[in-house]
Protein backbone atom coordinates (compact mmCIF):
# COMPACT_ATOMS: atom_id res chain seq x y z
CA UNK A 1 0.00 0.00 0.00
CA UNK A 2 1.08 3.59 -0.60
CA UNK A 3 -0.26 6.88 0.66
CA UNK A 4 -1.51 9.52 -1.73
CA UNK A 5 -0.32 12.97 -0.60
CA UNK A 6 -1.07 15.49 -3.31
CA UNK A 7 -1.95 15.99 -6.97
CA UNK A 8 0.07 18.46 -9.02
CA UNK A 9 1.02 19.19 -12.62
CA UNK A 10 4.61 19.93 -11.70
CA UNK A 11 6.66 16.96 -12.87
CA UNK A 12 9.77 17.69 -10.74
CA UNK A 13 10.93 14.95 -8.38
CA UNK A 14 9.70 15.28 -4.79
CA UNK A 15 12.30 14.67 -2.06
CA UNK A 16 12.74 11.09 -0.74
CA UNK A 17 10.96 9.09 0.63
CA UNK A 18 8.26 10.60 -1.58
CA UNK A 19 7.89 9.54 -5.18
CA UNK A 20 5.96 10.81 -8.18
CA UNK A 21 3.51 8.78 -10.22
CA UNK A 22 2.72 10.09 -13.69
CA UNK A 23 -1.01 10.19 -14.43
CA UNK A 24 -1.27 11.76 -17.89
CA UNK A 25 -0.88 15.54 -17.56
CA UNK A 26 -0.99 15.27 -13.79
CA UNK A 27 1.45 13.90 -11.24
CA UNK A 28 0.46 12.16 -8.02
CA UNK A 29 2.90 12.54 -5.12
CA UNK A 30 2.94 9.42 -2.99
CA UNK A 31 4.61 8.29 0.23
CA UNK A 32 5.29 4.94 1.84
CA UNK A 33 2.63 3.88 4.34
CA UNK A 34 3.13 5.43 7.76
CA UNK A 35 3.35 2.58 10.23
CA UNK A 36 2.29 4.72 13.15
CA UNK A 37 -0.58 6.30 11.32
CA UNK A 38 -3.92 7.09 12.90
CA UNK A 39 -2.94 9.52 15.64
CA UNK A 40 -2.78 13.28 15.76
CA UNK A 41 1.01 13.17 15.25
CA UNK A 42 0.74 11.49 11.89
CA UNK A 43 -1.86 14.05 10.86
CA UNK A 44 0.56 16.87 11.64
CA UNK A 45 3.36 15.07 9.77
CA UNK A 46 1.05 14.79 6.78
CA UNK A 47 0.27 18.49 7.07
CA UNK A 48 3.97 19.44 7.19
CA UNK A 49 4.66 17.28 4.17
CA UNK A 50 1.93 18.92 2.10
CA UNK A 51 3.05 22.38 3.22
CA UNK A 52 6.67 21.80 2.25
CA UNK A 53 5.56 20.56 -1.17
CA UNK A 54 3.29 23.56 -1.52
CA UNK A 55 6.25 25.92 -1.21
CA UNK A 56 7.54 24.97 -4.63
CA UNK A 57 4.49 23.81 -6.58
CA UNK A 58 0.77 24.29 -6.97
CA UNK A 59 -1.10 21.29 -5.69
CA UNK A 60 -4.36 19.76 -4.57
CA UNK A 61 -3.94 18.21 -1.12
CA UNK A 62 -5.34 14.71 -0.87
CA UNK A 63 -7.47 13.88 2.14
CA UNK A 64 -5.42 12.48 5.02
CA UNK A 65 -5.47 8.69 5.15
CA UNK A 66 -6.00 8.02 1.43
CA UNK A 67 -4.16 4.80 0.56
CA UNK A 68 -4.01 2.78 -2.64
CA UNK A 69 -2.49 -0.57 -3.54
CA UNK A 70 0.36 0.53 -5.82
CA UNK A 71 1.51 3.05 -8.45
CA UNK A 72 -0.75 1.50 -11.03
CA UNK A 73 -3.84 1.91 -8.85
CA UNK A 74 -2.85 5.55 -8.23
CA UNK A 75 -2.42 6.24 -11.96
CA UNK A 76 -5.79 4.66 -12.62
CA UNK A 77 -7.66 6.47 -9.84
CA UNK A 78 -6.18 9.88 -10.66
CA UNK A 79 -6.40 9.34 -14.43
CA UNK A 80 -10.11 8.56 -14.18
CA UNK A 81 -10.78 12.01 -12.69
CA UNK A 82 -8.00 13.79 -14.61
CA UNK A 83 -10.17 16.46 -16.22
CA UNK A 84 -11.92 17.37 -13.00
CA UNK A 85 -8.68 17.47 -11.00
CA UNK A 86 -6.93 19.60 -13.62
CA UNK A 87 -9.80 22.08 -13.40
CA UNK A 88 -9.54 22.21 -9.60
CA UNK A 89 -5.78 22.69 -9.88
CA UNK A 90 -6.36 25.71 -12.13
CA UNK A 91 -8.73 27.15 -9.52
CA UNK A 92 -6.16 26.97 -6.70
CA UNK A 93 -3.07 27.90 -8.76
CA UNK A 94 -0.99 30.51 -6.97
CA UNK A 95 -3.37 30.67 -4.02
CA UNK A 96 -3.49 29.43 -0.43
CA UNK A 97 -6.33 28.77 1.97
CA UNK A 98 -6.95 31.06 4.94
CA UNK A 99 -9.36 29.98 7.63
CA UNK A 100 -11.49 32.30 9.72
CA UNK A 101 -13.57 31.82 12.84
CA UNK A 102 -15.66 34.60 14.28
CA UNK A 103 -17.54 34.49 17.52
CA UNK A 104 -18.84 36.74 20.22
CA UNK A 105 -16.39 37.55 22.95
CA UNK A 106 -16.64 35.10 25.82
CA UNK A 107 -19.07 32.90 23.95
CA UNK A 108 -18.09 29.38 24.86
CA UNK A 109 -21.80 28.67 24.76
CA UNK A 110 -24.32 30.60 22.72
CA UNK A 111 -25.37 33.49 24.99
CA UNK A 112 -28.74 33.92 23.33
CA UNK A 113 -30.68 32.49 26.20
CA UNK A 114 -30.02 35.81 27.94
CA UNK A 115 -32.79 37.41 25.90
CA UNK A 116 -35.75 38.72 27.94
CA UNK A 117 -38.48 38.25 25.36
CA UNK A 118 -39.08 36.07 22.32
CA UNK A 119 -38.87 39.10 20.05
CA UNK A 120 -35.51 40.06 21.54
CA UNK A 121 -34.27 36.52 21.04
CA UNK A 122 -35.20 36.58 17.36
CA UNK A 123 -33.64 40.04 17.05
CA UNK A 124 -30.36 38.78 18.54
CA UNK A 125 -30.41 35.78 16.22
CA UNK A 126 -30.97 37.99 13.21
CA UNK A 127 -28.09 40.26 14.33
CA UNK A 128 -25.78 37.27 14.64
CA UNK A 129 -26.55 36.12 11.13
CA UNK A 130 -26.16 39.66 9.79
CA UNK A 131 -22.82 40.24 11.58
CA UNK A 132 -21.35 37.01 10.25
CA UNK A 133 -22.59 37.77 6.75
CA UNK A 134 -21.16 41.30 6.82
CA UNK A 135 -17.69 40.10 7.79
CA UNK A 136 -17.81 37.28 5.27
CA UNK A 137 -18.82 39.60 2.42
CA UNK A 138 -16.07 42.08 3.18
CA UNK A 139 -13.37 39.39 3.22
CA UNK A 140 -14.81 37.53 0.24
CA UNK A 141 -14.01 40.59 -1.87
CA UNK A 142 -10.29 39.81 -1.35
CA UNK A 143 -10.59 36.10 -2.13
CA UNK A 144 -10.73 34.15 -5.34
CA UNK A 145 -13.22 31.70 -3.90
CA UNK A 146 -14.87 31.16 -0.53
CA UNK A 147 -16.76 28.52 1.33
CA UNK A 148 -18.79 28.82 4.52
CA UNK A 149 -18.27 25.90 6.83
CA UNK A 150 -20.78 24.59 9.31
CA UNK A 151 -20.08 25.24 12.96
CA UNK A 152 -21.52 26.72 16.13
CA UNK A 153 -19.70 30.04 15.68
CA UNK A 154 -21.05 33.24 14.21
CA UNK A 155 -18.99 32.51 11.13
CA UNK A 156 -16.63 29.74 10.12
CA UNK A 157 -15.31 30.08 6.62
CA UNK A 158 -12.38 29.34 4.33
CA UNK A 159 -11.00 31.73 1.73
CA UNK A 160 -8.88 30.92 -1.28
CA UNK A 161 -6.50 33.87 -1.43
CA UNK A 162 -3.75 34.67 -3.89
CA UNK A 163 -0.33 34.48 -2.25
CA UNK A 164 0.33 38.13 -3.04
CA UNK A 165 -2.97 39.06 -1.38
CA UNK A 166 -2.45 37.28 1.95
CA UNK A 167 -1.02 40.35 3.72
CA UNK A 168 -3.89 42.54 2.55
CA UNK A 169 -6.37 39.90 3.70
CA UNK A 170 -4.82 39.68 7.17
CA UNK A 171 -4.75 43.48 7.40
CA UNK A 172 -8.47 43.54 6.59
CA UNK A 173 -9.14 40.95 9.31
CA UNK A 174 -7.28 43.15 11.81
CA UNK A 175 -9.29 46.17 10.75
CA UNK A 176 -12.56 44.28 11.14
CA UNK A 177 -11.38 43.18 14.57
CA UNK A 178 -10.70 46.78 15.57
CA UNK A 179 -14.08 47.89 14.28
CA UNK A 180 -15.87 45.07 16.13
CA UNK A 181 -14.29 44.78 19.59
CA UNK A 182 -17.25 42.71 20.82
CA UNK A 183 -16.26 39.94 18.40
CA UNK A 184 -13.30 37.59 18.31
CA UNK A 185 -11.83 37.06 14.85
CA UNK A 186 -9.25 34.32 14.47
CA UNK A 187 -7.54 33.89 11.15
CA UNK A 188 -5.14 30.99 10.50
CA UNK A 189 -3.06 29.87 7.57
CA UNK A 190 -1.67 29.72 5.04
CA UNK A 191 -3.05 26.21 4.56
CA UNK A 192 -3.03 23.93 1.56
CA UNK A 193 -6.34 24.48 -0.26
CA UNK A 194 -8.13 21.64 1.56
CA UNK A 195 -11.58 23.25 1.33
CA UNK A 196 -11.24 23.84 -2.39
CA UNK A 197 -9.75 20.55 -3.55
CA UNK A 198 -13.02 18.63 -3.82
CA UNK A 199 -15.91 19.65 -5.96
CA UNK A 200 -18.36 18.61 -3.26
CA UNK A 201 -16.79 20.80 -0.60
CA UNK A 202 -16.21 23.95 -2.56
| Interface with another protein (CB under 8 A) | 38-40, 43, 98, 101, 103, 109-110, 112-113, 115, 117-122, 125-126, 129, 149-152, 166, 170, 173-174, 177, 184-189, 191, 198, 200-201
Task: Please state the closest distance from residue 19 (CB atom) to another protein, in A.
Answer: 27
Q: Which of 64, 68, 45, 62 is closest to 8 using CA atoms?
A: 62
Return d(Cα 30, Cα 81) in angstroms, integer.
17
Contacts of 185 (CB under 8 A, 6+ apart): 100, 101, 102, 135, 173, 176, 177
Q: How far apart are CA 66 and CA 19, in angstroms?
A: 15
Instruction: Select 2 or 187, whichever has its Cβ closest to another protein.
Output: 187
- In angstroms, the Cα distances linking 182 to 11, 30, 103, 175 are 49, 46, 9, 13
User: Whole-angstrom Cα distance, residue 31 to residue 18?
Assistant: 5
Q: Which is nearer to another protein, 95 or 98 (CB)?
A: 98
- What's the closest the beta carbon of residue 146 comes to another protein, in angstroms? 15
Nearer to another protein, 25 or 175 (CB): 175
We find the least distance from the C-beta atom of residue 155 to another protein, in angstroms, to be 14
Of residues 9 and 97, the one with the C-beta less far from another protein: 97
In the complex with another protein, the residue whose CB is nearer, 21 or 53, is 53
Maximum Cα–Cα distance across the chain = 64
Amino acid sequence: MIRLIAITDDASMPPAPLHAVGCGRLTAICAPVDEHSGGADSLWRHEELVESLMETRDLLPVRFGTQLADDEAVAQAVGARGGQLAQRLELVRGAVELALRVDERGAAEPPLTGAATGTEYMQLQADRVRNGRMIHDELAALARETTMLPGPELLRAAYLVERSNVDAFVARVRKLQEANPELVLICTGPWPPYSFADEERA
